[in-house]
């Protein structure tokens, strides 16, 4: 039955325990991840008597921690977003700074090369100016290859960071699973192990720095952890292992896998958020596109310069030779291919060539010999012609010949085709002397000796060496000064049309520009240029015009345009990532403040509780003293009585 002494003692013990909890709260006010604890009082069951139930005092029923699961999830989610954007911004900024430097950046180096060509065009036979062109060409190659090398190094470092992130994720997952087991065991006693739960929540928060995290609480105190778009990482006291998987096409590139028993599931496309998500975004949005676009620029530079060189005559009177060599198309077999099928891939159309990579797969269907082409960047199928064997597959500016084994191609075999990724690495200067620069045109247009009109030939150049057929051609204005006809030495017509002063006349890969007004019967003879005419600069001017013409991306962009677009895209990606990181950091800070206000230690509140508990403790102590006094008085009365 309750009495004054036992009731007061229960209060003394309860308020001492409450003071212990408050003391612990104050001591951990600055401890990361600590959730404030509360001593929860409960009245001890009363005992019946003739006058009714008399209370038996108080007890601390349990000590609970403040925990707001919704706010905690908001903190973790915003932390994952911030880590992802911040990682992307940090990595992208390095590439942005490299490409956009006003004096040594990509567009500046390209312009320096064009400027040297323009200087040479004013005096094509000047050796010093010719040597300056070769020097600027080599400087451009060195710059492009320096960018390519730095991008390769950045890619290698990124893969190392991916591996490191995966290791950290596995370490945290193992620790969370271990704590889950301990929490479940200790929760069986009916009391929650608050300290262990705080430690687990802090580990989950750390995990959100690496990848997006979602948690689901279980009835036994355990918390299941899911990453990415819902892949189970921790179930109870069992942690799944995340692992790096060498990419099927390129073993130096890591995909992300989740070990499930004896098998590993590729979850690369499902991983998002955190620094790991930011690294994967950097690879797909910055590094790979930048390296491929540099390759596209290298291919365009070599293709256009070489075509124009072959269209011209050098200082020795010979047809111009290629100025640049460039790396070929890179084809990577899938490591899981079942047979020895190989591909021979060449570039066919500069205009149709893109900086995207493609996956060619054998499906066994009826169209295109059973082959299907997928743009890896957009994920969309690409239309093709041909079947790959009897006629090469044609698509995206590429010609793809399939070299199949005698047993045929296995369904499921696939190849990664990278049209431009290796181009810059193979870029080199082939010309060794300024005299090899083809400044003059291979052809010249000479007015007929009997011409009576005012028309004159301002230029005659080869625009397509592959279509040009060396011969002597005659442009005739017979019957009308506004109509022309082009015939070869056999008097076979090869072209005709309406004449407009200054509008080029095109035929068989040649282009002749005539200005003025011809008279009926006027002619112009188009034939081989004289070796003595090496001071001609028409082919050099054509090269300058070609380099600035919109020949890329379906005829919508020039080399400098593609370079500017690359710099702009990387800059935009960097700025957006920085802006997103700043916004995510603000959201994270707000969520963290809200969580701390709800679950953290409020020293003012703890001070008030301390005073309350201390006063209650002292009151209980006085009650015990009063009980002692009353007991002594009773004993004295009984003794004296």
**Residue 575 reports pLDDT greater than 80:** yes
Higher pLDDT, 261 or 337: 337
Residues 6+ apart with CB under 8 A from 298: 144, 326, 327, 420, 423, 424, 427
What pLDDT does 235 receive?
93
Mean pLDDT of the region 471-491 = 92
**Residue 641 reports pLDDT greater than 70:** no
Mean pLDDT of the region 406-417 = 89
Residues 6+ apart with CB under 8 A from 542: 308, 311, 312, 441, 461, 463
The angle at the Cα of 251, spanning 253 to 83, to the nearest 5 degrees, equals: 20
Mean pLDDT, rounded, of the chain: 90
Mean pLDDT of the region 528-547 = 87
Helices (H) and strands (E) in the chain, counts: 10, 29
**Residue 2 reports pLDDT greater than 60:** no
What pLDDT does 485 receive?
95
What pLDDT does 579 receive?
95
Residue 526: C-alpha distances to residues 42, 312, 518 (Å): 110, 15, 16
The structure tokens 């190392």 sit at: 160
Higher pLDDT, 249 or 4: 249
Mean pLDDT of the region 272-278 = 95
**Residue 237 reports pLDDT greater than 80:** yes
The structure tokens 């994920």 sit at: 379
pLDDT tens digits, 279-308: 999 999 999 999 999 999 999 999 999 999
**Residue 533 reports pLDDT greater than 90:** no
Q: Label residue 1 by pLDDT band (50, 70, 90).
A: very low
Residues 6+ apart with CB under 8 A from 371: 360, 361, 362, 363, 384, 387, 388, 393, 402
Phi, psi (rounded to 5 degrees) for 444: -140, 150
pLDDT tens digits, 203-234: 999 999 999 999 998 888 899 999 988 899 99
Annotate 123-135 with b (16+ C-beta within 10 A) or e (fewer): ebbeeebbebbbe
Q: Label residue 571 by pLDDT band (50, 70, 90).
A: very high
């Amino acid at each position: 039955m309750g009495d004054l002494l036992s009731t007061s003692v229960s209060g003394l013990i309860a308020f001492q325990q409450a003071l212990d909890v408050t003391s612990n709260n104050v001591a951990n006010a600055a401890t990361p991840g600590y959730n404030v604890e509360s001593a929860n009082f409960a009245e001890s069951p009363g005992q019946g008597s003739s006058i009714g139930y008399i209370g038996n005092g108080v007890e601390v029923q349990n000590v609970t921690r403040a925990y707001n699961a919704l706010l905690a999830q908001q903190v973790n989610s915003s932390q994952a977003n911030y880590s992802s954007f911040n990682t992307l911004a940090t990595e992208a900024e390095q590439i942005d700074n490299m490409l956009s430097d006003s004096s040594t950046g990509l567009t500046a180096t390209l312009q320096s090369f064009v400027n040297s060509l323009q200087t040479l065009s004013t005096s094509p036979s000047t050796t010093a100016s010719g040597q300056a062109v070769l020097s600027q060409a080599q400087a451009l190659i060195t710059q492009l290859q320096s960018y390519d090398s730095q991008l390769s190094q950045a890619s290698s470092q990124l893969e190392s960071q991916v591996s490191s992130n995966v290791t950290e994720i596995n370490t945290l997952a193992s620790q969370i699973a271990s704590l889950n087991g301990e929490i479940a065991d200790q929760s069986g006693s009916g009391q929650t192990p608050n300290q262990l739960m705080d430690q687990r929540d802090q580990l989950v928060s750390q995990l959100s720095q690496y990848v997006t995290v979602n948690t689901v609480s279980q009835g036994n105190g355990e918390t299941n952890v899911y990453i990415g778009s819902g892949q189970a990482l921790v179930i109870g006291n069992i942690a799944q292992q995340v692992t790096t998987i060498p990419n099927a096409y390129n073993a130096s590139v890591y995909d992300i896998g989740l070990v499930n028993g004896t098998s590993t599931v590729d979850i690369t496309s499902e991983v998002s958020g955190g620094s790991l998500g930011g690294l994967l975004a950097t690879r797909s949005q910055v590094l790979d596109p930048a390296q491929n676009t540099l390759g596209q620029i290298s291919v365009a530079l070599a293709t256009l310069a070489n075509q124009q060189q072959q269209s011209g005559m050098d200082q020795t009177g010979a047809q111009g030779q290629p100025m640049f060599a460039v790396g070929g198309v890179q084809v990577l077999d899938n490591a899981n291919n079942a047979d020895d099928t190989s591909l021979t891939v060449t570039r066919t159309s500069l205009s149709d060539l893109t900086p995207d990579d493609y996956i060619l797969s054998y499906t066994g269907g009826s169209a295109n010999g059973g082959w299907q082409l997928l743009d890896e960047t957009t994920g969309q199928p690409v239309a093709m012609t041909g079947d790959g064997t009897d006629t090469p597959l044609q698509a995206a500016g590429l010609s793809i010949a399939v070299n199949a084994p005698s047993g045929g191609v296995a369904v499921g075999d696939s190849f990664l085709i990278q049209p431009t990724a290796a181009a810059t690495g193979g870029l080199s200067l082939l010309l060794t002397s300024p005299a090899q620069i083809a400044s003059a045109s291979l052809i010249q247009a000479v007015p007929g000796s009997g011409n009576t009109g005012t028309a004159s030939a301002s230029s005659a150049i080869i625009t397509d060496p592959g279509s040009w057929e060396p011969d002597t051609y005659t442009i005739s204005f017979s019957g009308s000064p506004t109509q022309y006809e082009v015939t070869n030495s056999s008097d076979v017509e090869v072209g005709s049309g309406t004449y407009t002063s200054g509008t080029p006349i095109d035929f068989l890969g040649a282009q002749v520009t005539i200005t003025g007004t011809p008279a009926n019967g006027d002619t112009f003879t188009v034939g081989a240029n004289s070796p003595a005419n090496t001071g001609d600069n028409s082919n050099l001017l054509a090269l300058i015009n070609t380099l600035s013409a919109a020949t890329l991306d379906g005829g919508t962009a020039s080399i400098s345009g593609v370079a500017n677009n690359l710099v702009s895209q990387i800059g935009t990606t960097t700025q957006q990532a920085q802006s997103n990181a700043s916004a995510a950091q603000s959201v994270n800070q707000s969520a963290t403040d809200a969580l701390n206000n709800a679950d953290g230690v409020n020293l003012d509140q703890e001070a008030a509780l301390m005073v309350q508990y201390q006063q209650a403790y002292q009151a209980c102590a006085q009650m015990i003293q009063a009980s002692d006094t009353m007991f002594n008085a009773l004993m004295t009365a009984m003794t004296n009585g």
